[in-house]
Structure 1
Amino acid sequence: MTEPFWETKTLSEMSRDEWESLCDGCGLCCLIRFEDEDTGAVTPTRVHCKLFDTHACTCIDYANRREQVPDCIKLTPWNIEALKWMPLSCGYRRVHEGRGLAAWHPLVSGDPESVHAAGVSIRGQTVSELSLAEPEDALAFEAPEWIPERGR
């Protein structure tokens, strides 16, 4: 039996389909965050991007997201190290750090709902940025401490 691709390839060696399949569908990367310019501290919120589908935990226009949301960060094998705000549970981060995928990851479990059943996703826990009068209003929806550090 062959080993799974995420255990034998580096992130940069993966095909586009393999790369995309590392996304566990948690939605944590779609949360609005604020970075303090002086300290670099990142404050996550419970406010999601306007393109986030709260039930499916996916982007409703993934292929064109950067045209609609210019500051959307495209995750690549070369920038993952710099994105310290990525949750510890993120499949991309876990593979990059050599920790493998969690048992609840859909590639391991075979079930795309396992991430939600494990309580790792933000399904049903956020509000849309479209519901806010001003972007700074998102700070009123500061996320609980567990969001950026979730280590499952």
Structure 2
Amino acid sequence: MKMRPKFWEKYPLHELFDDEWEALCDGCGVCCLVKFLDDEQVQFTEYTDVACQLLDCQTGQCSNYPNRQSVVPDCIRLTADMLPQMLWLPRHCAYKRLYLGQKLPSWHRLLHGTTQHQAQFAKYSVAGRCVSELEFDEAAIEERVVRWVKI
């Protein structure tokens, strides 16, 4: 992996290497939840507990990350240029926080390694708290709005 020391503090998002960009993701899986977006007012975004068909709902990890866009064409490959339109990302999201000039969340694994990260991370991860979209039709998904995702 090609990563510079404390790259998140020293370089703008659009200057990060691919490995650095990927390392910013905490792997919470929240962006993989079905959501209802209000294009005019981000604060009215509603998240559901229904996840993309590729998300492993027990681990909160994508089951086919390298090929996700060929399986799920509307899967987003987030870039720095997209961030102004992606403010619906959860408030703990490192991409959103850095874009807004904030620091990484205090529990982020880039700051503490995996042990301390895991203790706090469970509060934000979808692991064990979501169900696959394959189990629901669109009308049923609308009934599964959750309030534990904070934007």
Any conservation in 1 of the 2:87–2:96 contact (CA below 8 Å)?
no
Q: How does 1:78-117 map to 2 (within 5 A)?
A: 78-111=81-114, 114-115=117-118, 117=120
**Letter of the 1:69 counterpart:** V
Q: 1:113 to 1:92 in 2, by over 3 A?
A: same
Counterpart of 2:138 in structure 1 is 135
Displacement, 1:19?
0.2
Any conservation in 2 of the 1:24–1:115 contact (CA below 8 Å)?
no
Q: Deviations over 1:19-53 (max 9, x none)?
A: 00000111110100123578774321110111001
Structure 1 CA distance, aligned partners of 2:140 and 2:96?
Answer: 29
Could you say what secondary structure the match of 1:140 adopts? coil
Instruction: Compute the TM-score of the two structures, normalised by the length of structure 2.
Output: 0.86
Instruction: Compute the TM-score of the two structures, normalised by the length of structure 1.
Output: 0.85
- Higher mean C-alpha displacement, 27-36 vs 81-90: 27-36
Structure 1 CA distance, aligned partners of 2:132 and 2:92?
Answer: 23
Structure 1 CA distance, aligned partners of 2:24 and 2:12?
Answer: 12
Residue segments in structure 2 that go unaligned for 5+ positions in a row? none
Structure 2 CA distance, aligned partners of 1:63 and 1:116?
Answer: 27
Counterpart of 1:52 in structure 2 is 55
Structure 2 CA distance, aligned partners of 1:64 and 1:24?
Answer: 19
Any conservation in 2 of the 1:25–1:121 contact (CA below 8 Å)?
yes
Q: 1:113 to 1:130 in 2, by over 3 A?
A: farther
- Higher mean C-alpha displacement, 49-58 vs 83-92: 49-58
Residue segments in structure 1 that go unaligned for 5+ positions in a row? none
Could you say what secondary structure the match of 1:147 adopts? coil
Counterpart of 1:5 in structure 2 is 7
